[in-house]
Amino acid sequence: MKKKYWSGRVTKESNAMDLEEGVFTKKSAKSIALSLKRSAEKSKRKKAKSFQSAMSMLNFYMNRAGRNLPASRKKVLKKAKDELRKIFKRDKK
């Protein structure tokens, strides 16, 4: 029996935004944040504003990868959150 994961279906069928290929494998936090910003601003599949959509996709990826992410990768992705806030001129709450 083939196992199906809801997270894969969410990224294909939901109103989640379309991402650039390999966005979460980029080396720098800033390049991840800029890619998410570009995707959020051009996507027609999002329901929320661009900042919220970009941050949601980053959180979704981090939550789905969970314990499988090495500490060094988690550090880059957490820094990408800060970069997103800077790019969208949002204060950290």
Give the helix ranges, DSSP H, for the chain: 6-13, 29-42, 50-65, 71-87
Neighbour count for residue 24 (Cβ, 10 Å): 19
Write down the domain spans for the chain. Answer: 26-87
Give the per-residue pLDDT at 65: 85
Give the per-residue pLDDT at 88: 93
User: What is the per-residue pLDDT across 20-74, written as a single tens digit (0 to 9) for each?
Assistant: 888 989 999 999 999 999 999 988 777 788 999 899 989 988 988 888 889 999 9
User: What is the per-residue pLDDT across 62-72, written as a single tens digit (0 to 9) for each?
Assistant: 988 888 889 99
DSSP designation for 1 = -
Q: Is the pTM of this model over 0.85?
A: no
b/e 41-80 (16+ beta carbons within 10 angstroms → b): eebeebeeebbebbbbbbeebbeeeeeebeeeeeebbeeb
